[in-house]
């Protein structure tokens, strides 16, 4: 492979990577910003490979590359060590590619940097600790792996996270060691040490935050040597100051004046004397944490002037994450009670890319913005930075550094409300930092003529001059109509608190007045329209607001979708409980299902008939960074009229299914207008139903309103269809008195949750009791309905129907609740032949279970019963059954198995042909009177490792069999693939599909995953192609 030397970039297909010192006029604005940042931060790399979102023209760095002459020179190894440390602090990049003429080494930039301890540090051996893999160009086998795991296509598709071949590499990457996570864990460990040393937690928070902000100022050149030397002779940095308690407080006093108190507000007595106490030993613990981290292990003596953390490189936006996660770890009840969760920069970026873009020549910088629950200010800081960029564009400036203009933009446009005083101080200081970071010189804030503005408006502040007009320390839901500044906003963004625990009185009252559910987020969503009656709103909320079937939630949805104009909804519930090892968790540590709604109070002149709904089904990586994958199948255009119905199930159905599923369920609901529950309530004289046995209350025990059955069924031994008497176990437990008719045989026992990921209903024909979620008994011992319901609940149809309609499955829980089981449609007017057939098969199954149990025989009967339900009872078409089967096989499986789901695996051998058969059959029905036939050619060669699959449709006058091409098109498909990805923010990716026409041929190109070449997808694609043909999209244009 000697021809590869010096051409490794082409081999890896990274020729689109940009040189850091490039004069290329084709560099986009966002690419230029990143390259400029790399130069400013002195990260010594040569090339950057970018992902680009074509819609917003935003580019995001994916890989850094560095060329070296060899890997033997000590200075080269020192430089690699330093580059990795800086990239670790930068956080945006996971891997560093360093290449020479004979080999390439991949370094792990998520790993804690090497701690350089001495002059004779062994770089050669130590660097192996952060090396992922080294590849020699002379080794063909190594090159094959390199291309498979680290080429451009591998970067874009994230194959390293899904490929079994990459397991060894994947195991080396621990995302919990990234700079933000490690800094937070270091601060938590330091906090515990200081607490053990006698300091109070509240004071520790203050001292840690002061240190954080000071280091940001220092590392960014806003606090230089001359600043420190004025406080202590010979001091050159904050760490020199920390060697003495008195000078440390002298520094804090000075900063208290410059930064209008905030986190530098010192505790004083009535004589204005500082009463805060800290020892030199405690200051040294803080110093050690910020120099080399604190993982509770002893550190050897460090090389002079070496530091692990570099706050010139660590983004200002991470301050919110560091602060809020640190606070959550040291005071966990605060987060739980307040219902607030940290919003990661990638999500902030995602929302603002939609509502405050900066990469398409936007120049409007007077946009009045409010975050109604601003926390530590991450939305406000990023919004301020974007408005400054817009000002720079409007005035053709490379860098706006004018103090007065920056202050004006900040004071006139950036507003926040936050009830927690400590958080709002962090928000103020983060905004100060963002402002100071733009100044030239950056230490201009030290000049008495450039006084930073007061931002916080605290009702406790008696001095009117110190009351700012931007950050209001208030309860957002209280009456704020008298505050002039909090009116008529152009844009509202944020992540309001959500949850139903520890509700403030103002929230309770507001919800009561409006008739809304007592849920923290609802008043914020409603009140946003009062703050911005003519503006736009983008707020995060918990997904159950869309799906909860209770009347107070319905009333809120009626207001939102009927009285407001909703533009789009992003449902990110799949990210609930994402593994910590996977992608750093896009939504931090929030366990609840999260969505984003884009809406406004004032309806536009042109009202769209649809609401755009994005509901990704997987958090599989789509890049070497962390991320969320939104595929073309995850984007739906929901009828606005349907969304305006407060009882619609469309949000849940299309979360895991598509519009075809919604149509099918809607048609079934029209055909069977009664649910099982409604049928039972209508026929109370014939049936008893209710939940199983429950423990008695204290009052019931006192009144002896209890009973103790000798035996009860062990729920863990309940089987689908029928449970043998061996499940009965002796019991000495006491239960409350309930209607015992529900246990009279025969009865149906329905478990909450699932048995081997299937719903579980069991027919019981003997006297017994149980603690299951549901029991249904018939007064007629020969009742057919009990058997019907048992078969229906255990059917694939029930799994499909309830997975798509259950308000909680796939959102808050991994199971269907028992009361939701009874929402299944009640089949009526079943013909006698179908009844007899089902009854006979059911009785036969019970006989098999009761006799010498034959597993294979019983499974065959279960399959026959399932077919009777689908074909004879529900009378579903082949297309309907295909839809049900594929939804369970792919969508439901994705929920349970995620990365390991069969849905994501390469297509099976017969799939392309089956897909093509349905596609051409549907098209030919449409073309029947045109004298034309759609014929298909499938391409299956060289596609094992290809990210894409292709089928060619040709229109001919004769009908032909499906043909198989021997053409090798893998390389061409890889090239096409790079154009199908768009990056919406640092962690969120869109993948498009492709239909294109050459002459009379239509080429259908999709990702090489089973879910995209399913039979149901063929039906959907056929409908779409027919629509495109009718609209003239495929009129033979080249």
Beta strand segments in 379-483, E:
414-417, 456-457, 471-472
Higher pLDDT, 494 or 266: 494
The pLDDT score that the predictor gives to residue 392 is 95
Asked which of 624, 656, 688 is the last residue of a domain, the reply is 656
Angle, helix 855-868 to helix 784-793, in steps of 10 degrees = 100
Percent of residues, the chain, with pLDDT higher than 70 = 89
Percent of residues, the chain, with pLDDT higher than 90 = 55
Asked whether residue 402 falls in the same domain as residue 438, the answer is yes
Asked whether residue 435 falls in the same domain as residue 537, the answer is no
| Rounded distance between C-alpha atoms, residue 828 and residue 794, angstroms | 18
Cis peptide leading into residue 441 (ω within 30°): yes
Express each pLDDT in 581-594 by its tens digit: 544 344 455 456 88
| Rounded distance between C-alpha atoms, residue 769 and residue 747, angstroms | 10
The pLDDT score that the predictor gives to residue 583 is 45
Q: Judge whether residue 52 has pLDDT over 90.
A: no
Q: Judge whether residue 645 has pLDDT over 50.
A: yes
Asked whether residue 1023 falls in the same domain as residue 951, the answer is yes
Question: Residue 615's domain spans which residues?
Answer: 496-656
Express each pLDDT in 711-743 by its tens digit: 999 999 999 999 999 999 999 999 998 888 999
Q: Is 70 helix (H, G, I), strand (E, B) or coil?
A: coil
* 850 in any annotated domain: yes
The pLDDT score that the predictor gives to residue 1006 is 84
Asked whether residue 703 falls in the same domain as residue 809, the answer is yes
Question: What average pLDDT does the chain have?
Answer: 87
| Residue 628 pLDDT grade (very low, low, confident, very high; cuts 50, 70, 90) | low
The pLDDT score that the predictor gives to residue 977 is 60
Express each pLDDT in 507-542 by its tens digit: 999 999 999 999 999 999 999 999 999 999 999 999
Among residues 937, 887, 930, 877, which one has the least CA distance to residue 912?
A: 937
Q: Judge whether residue 980 has pLDDT over 70.
A: no
| Residue 621 pLDDT grade (very low, low, confident, very high; cuts 50, 70, 90) | very low
For the residues 140-160, what does the mean pLDDT come to?
Answer: 83
Q: What is the DSSP-derived secondary structure letter of residue 559?
A: I
* 661 in any annotated domain: no
* 1006 in any annotated domain: yes
Asked whether residue 696 falls in the same domain as residue 807, the answer is yes
Least confident of 53-67, 99-113, 377-391, 457-471: 53-67
Higher pLDDT, 327 or 91: 91
For the residues 599-627, what does the mean pLDDT come to?
Answer: 77
The pLDDT score that the predictor gives to residue 76 is 96
The pLDDT score that the predictor gives to residue 624 is 37
Q: Are 569 and 545 in contact (CB under 8 A)?
A: no
Q: Judge whether residue 975 has pLDDT over 70.
A: no
* 212 in any annotated domain: yes
3-state secondary structure 608-623: CCEEEEECCCECCCCC
CATH of the domain at 756: 3.90.220.20
Q: Judge whether residue 83 has pLDDT over 90.
A: yes
Asked whether residue 868 falls in the same domain as residue 732, the answer is yes
| Rounded distance between C-alpha atoms, residue 664 and residue 660, angstroms | 6
| Residue 15 pLDDT grade (very low, low, confident, very high; cuts 50, 70, 90) | confident
| Number of domains comprising the chain | 6
* 58 in any annotated domain: yes
Asked which of 656, 678, 698 is the last residue of a domain, the reply is 656
Q: What is the CA radius of gyration of the chain?
A: 32
The pLDDT score that the predictor gives to residue 688 is 95
* 552 in any annotated domain: yes
| Residue 1038 pLDDT grade (very low, low, confident, very high; cuts 50, 70, 90) | very low
| Rounded distance between C-alpha atoms, residue 754 and residue 735, angstroms | 25
Asked whether residue 78 falls in the same domain as residue 138, the answer is yes
The pLDDT score that the predictor gives to residue 300 is 56
* 310 in any annotated domain: no
Q: Judge whether residue 970 has pLDDT over 60.
A: yes
Asked which of 120, 143, 173 is the last residue of a domain, the reply is 173
For the residues 567-576, what does the mean pLDDT come to?
Answer: 86
For the residues 38-57, what does the mean pLDDT come to?
Answer: 83
* 862 in any annotated domain: yes
Asked whether residue 567 falls in the same domain as residue 588, the answer is yes
| Rounded distance between C-alpha atoms, residue 876 and residue 882, angstroms | 10
Q: Judge whether residue 460 has pLDDT over 80.
A: yes
Residue 842 CB partners (closer than 8 Å, separation 6+) = 721, 763, 787, 790, 791, 865
| Rounded distance between C-alpha atoms, residue 209 and residue 211, angstroms | 5
Asked whether residue 504 falls in the same domain as residue 382, the answer is no
Instruction: Return the bridge partners of 457, or none.
Output: 472
Express each pLDDT in 464-503 by its tens digit: 888 999 999 999 999 999 999 999 999 999 999 988 888 8
The pLDDT score that the predictor gives to residue 622 is 40
| Rounded distance between C-alpha atoms, residue 659 and residue 806, angstroms | 17
Q: Judge whether residue 102 has pLDDT over 80.
A: yes
Asked whether residue 579 falls in the same domain as residue 539, the answer is yes
Asked whether residue 891 falls in the same domain as residue 909, the answer is no
Asked whether residue 831 falls in the same domain as residue 920, the answer is no
The pLDDT score that the predictor gives to residue 516 is 97
| Rounded distance between C-alpha atoms, residue 371 and residue 360, angstroms | 24
Read off φ and ψ for residue 534, nearest 5 degrees: -120, 10
HSE-CB of 729 using CA atoms within 13 angstroms: 12
Q: Are 759 and 798 in contact (CB under 8 A)?
A: yes
| Rounded distance between C-alpha atoms, residue 1009 and residue 633, angstroms | 12
Mean pLDDT is highest, among 36-40, 370-374, 1004-1008, 1032-1036, for 370-374
Higher pLDDT, 884 or 253: 884
For the residues 166-182, what does the mean pLDDT come to?
Answer: 84
Q: Judge whether residue 997 has pLDDT over 60.
A: yes
Q: Judge whether residue 710 has pLDDT over 70.
A: yes
The pLDDT score that the predictor gives to residue 971 is 66
Express each pLDDT in 843-852 by its tens digit: 999 999 999 7
For the residues 150-163, what does the mean pLDDT come to?
Answer: 74
CATH of the domain at 511: 3.40.50.12420
| Rounded distance between C-alpha atoms, residue 40 and residue 687, angstroms | 77
Q: Is 825 helix (H, G, I), strand (E, B) or coil?
A: strand
Alpha-helical (H) ranges within 65-200 are 74-90, 123-126, 140-150, 152-157, 159-162, 167-170, 179-196
| Residue 945 pLDDT grade (very low, low, confident, very high; cuts 50, 70, 90) | low
């Amino acid at each position: 492979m000697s021809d590869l030397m010096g051409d490794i970039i082409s081999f890896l297909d990274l020729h689109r990577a940009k040189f850091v010192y490039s004069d290329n006029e084709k560099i986009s604005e966002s690419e230029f910003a990143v390259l400029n940042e790399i130069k400013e931060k002195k990260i010594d790399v040569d090339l950057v490979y970018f992902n680009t979102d074509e819609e917003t023209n935003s580019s995001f760095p994916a890989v850094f590359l560095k060329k070296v002459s060899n890997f033997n020179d000590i200075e080269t190894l020192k430089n690699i060590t330093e580059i990795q440390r800086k990239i670790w602090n930068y956080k945006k990049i996971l891997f560093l590619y360093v290449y020479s003429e004979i080999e390439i080494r991949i370094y792990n930039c998520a790993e804690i940097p090497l701690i350089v301890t001495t002059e004779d540090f062994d770089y050669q051996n130590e660097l192996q600790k952060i090396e992922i893999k080294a590849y020699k160009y002379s080794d063909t086998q190594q090159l094959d792996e390199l291309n498979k795991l680290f080429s451009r296509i591998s970067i874009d598709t994230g194959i390293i996270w899904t490929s079994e071949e990459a397991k060894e590499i994947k195991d080396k990457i621990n995302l919990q060691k990234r700079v933000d996570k490690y800094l937070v864990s270091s601060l938590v460990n330091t906090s515990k040490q200081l607490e053990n040393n006698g300091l109070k937690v509240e004071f520790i928070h203050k001292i840690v935050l002061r240190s954080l902000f000071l280091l940001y100022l220092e590392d960014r050149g806003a606090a230089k040597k001359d600043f420190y030397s004025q406080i202590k002779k010979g001091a050159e940095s904050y760490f020199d100051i920390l060697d003495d308690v008195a000078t440390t407080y002298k520094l804090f006093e000075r900063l208290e004046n410059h930064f209008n108190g905030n986190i530098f507000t010192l505790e004083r007595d009535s004589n204005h004397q500082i009463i805060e106490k800290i020892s030199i030993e405690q200051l040294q613990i803080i110093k050690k944490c910020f120099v080399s981290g604190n993982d509770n292990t002893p550190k050897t003596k460090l090389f002079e002037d070496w530091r692990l953390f570099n706050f010139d490189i660590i983004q200002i936006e991470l301050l919110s994450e560091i602060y809020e996660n640190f606070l959550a770890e040291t005071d966990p009840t605060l987060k739980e009670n307040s219902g607030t969760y940290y919003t990661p920069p990638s999500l902030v970026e995602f929302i603002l890319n939609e509502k405050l873009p900066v990469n398409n020549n936007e120049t409007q910088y007077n946009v009045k913005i409010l975050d109604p629950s601003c926390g530590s200010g991450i939305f406000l800081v990023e919004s301020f930075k974007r408005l400054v960029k817009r000002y720079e564009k409007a005035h053709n400036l490379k860098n706006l550094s004018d103090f007065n203009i920056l202050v004006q933009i900040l004071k006139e446009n950036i507003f926040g409300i936050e009830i927690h005083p400590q958080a709002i101080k962090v928000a103020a200081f983060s905004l100060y930092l963002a402002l100071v970071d733009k100044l030239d010189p950056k230490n201009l804030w030290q000049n008495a003529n450039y006084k930073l503005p007061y931002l916080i408006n605290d009702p406790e502040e008696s001095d009117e001059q110190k009351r700012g007009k931007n950050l209001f320390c208030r309860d957002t839901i209280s009456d704020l109509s008298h505050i002039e500044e909090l009116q008529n906003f152009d844009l509202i963004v944020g992540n309001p608190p959500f949850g139903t625990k520890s509700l403030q009185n103002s929230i309770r009252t507001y919800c009561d007045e409006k008739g809304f559910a007592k849920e923290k987020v609802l008043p914020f969503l409603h009140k946003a329209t009062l703050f911005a009656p003519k503006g736009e709103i983008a707020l995060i909320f918990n997904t159950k607001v869309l799906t909860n079937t209770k009347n107070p939630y319905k009333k809120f949805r009626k207001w939102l979708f009927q009285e407001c104009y909703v533009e789009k909804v992003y449902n990110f519930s799949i990210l609930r409980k994402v593994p910590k090892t996977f992608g750093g968790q896009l939504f931090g540590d929030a366990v609840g299902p999260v969505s984003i709604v884009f809406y406004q109070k004032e309806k536009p002149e042109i009202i769209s008939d649809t609401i755009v709904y994005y509901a990704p089904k997987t958090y599989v990586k789509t890049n070497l960074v962390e991320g969320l994958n939104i595929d073309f199948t995850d984007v739906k255009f929901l009828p606005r009229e349907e969304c305006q119905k407060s009882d619609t199930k469309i949000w849940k159905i299309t979360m895991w299914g598509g519009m075809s599923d919604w149509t099918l369920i809607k048609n079934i609901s029209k055909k069977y207008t009664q649910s099982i529950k409604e049928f039972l309530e209508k026929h109370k004289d014939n049936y008893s139903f209710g939940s199983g046995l429950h423990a008695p209350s204290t009052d019931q025990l006192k009144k002896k309103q209890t009973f103790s059955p000798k035996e009860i069924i062990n729920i863990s031994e309940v089987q689908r269809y029928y449970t043998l008497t061996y499940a009965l176990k002796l019991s000495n437990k006491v239960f409350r008195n309930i209607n015992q008719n529900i246990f009279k045989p025969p009865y149906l026992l329905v478990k909450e949750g699932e048995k081997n990921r299937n719903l579980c209903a069991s027919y019981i024909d003997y006297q017994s009791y149980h603690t299951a979620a549901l029991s249904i008994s018939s007064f007629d011992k020969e009742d057919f309905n009990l058997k019907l319901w048992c078969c229906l609940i255990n059917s694939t149809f029930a799994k499909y129907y309830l997975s798509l309609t259950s308000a909680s499955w796939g959102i808050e829980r991994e199971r269907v609740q028992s009361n939701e089981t009874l929402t299944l449609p009640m089949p009526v007017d079943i013909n006698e032949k179908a009844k007899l057939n089902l009854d006979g098969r059911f009785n036969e199954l019970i006989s098999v279970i009761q006799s010498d149990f034959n597993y294979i025989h019983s499974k065959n009967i279960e399959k026959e019963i399932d077919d009777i339900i689908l074909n004879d009872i529900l009378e579903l078409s082949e297309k309907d059954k295909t839809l049900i089967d594929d939804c369970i096989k792919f969508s439901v499986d994705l929920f349970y198995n995620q990365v390991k789901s069969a849905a994501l695996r390469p297509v099976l051998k017969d799939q392309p042909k089956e897909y093509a058969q349905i596609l051409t059959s549907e098209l030919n029905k449409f073309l029947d009177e045109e004298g034309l036939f759609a014929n298909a050619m499938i391409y299956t060669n060289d596609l094992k490792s290809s990210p894409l699959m292709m089928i060619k449709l040709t229109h001919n006058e004769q009908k032909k069999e499906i043909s198989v091409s021997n053409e090798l098109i893998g390389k061409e498909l890889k090239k096409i693939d790079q154009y199908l990805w768009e990056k919406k923010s640092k962690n969120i990716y869109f993948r498009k599909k492709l239909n294109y026409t050459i002459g009379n041929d239509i080429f259908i190109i999709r990702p090489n995953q089973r879910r995209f070449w399913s039979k149901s997808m063929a039906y959907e694609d056929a409908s779409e192609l027919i629509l495109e043909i009718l609209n003239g999209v495929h009129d033979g244009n080249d």
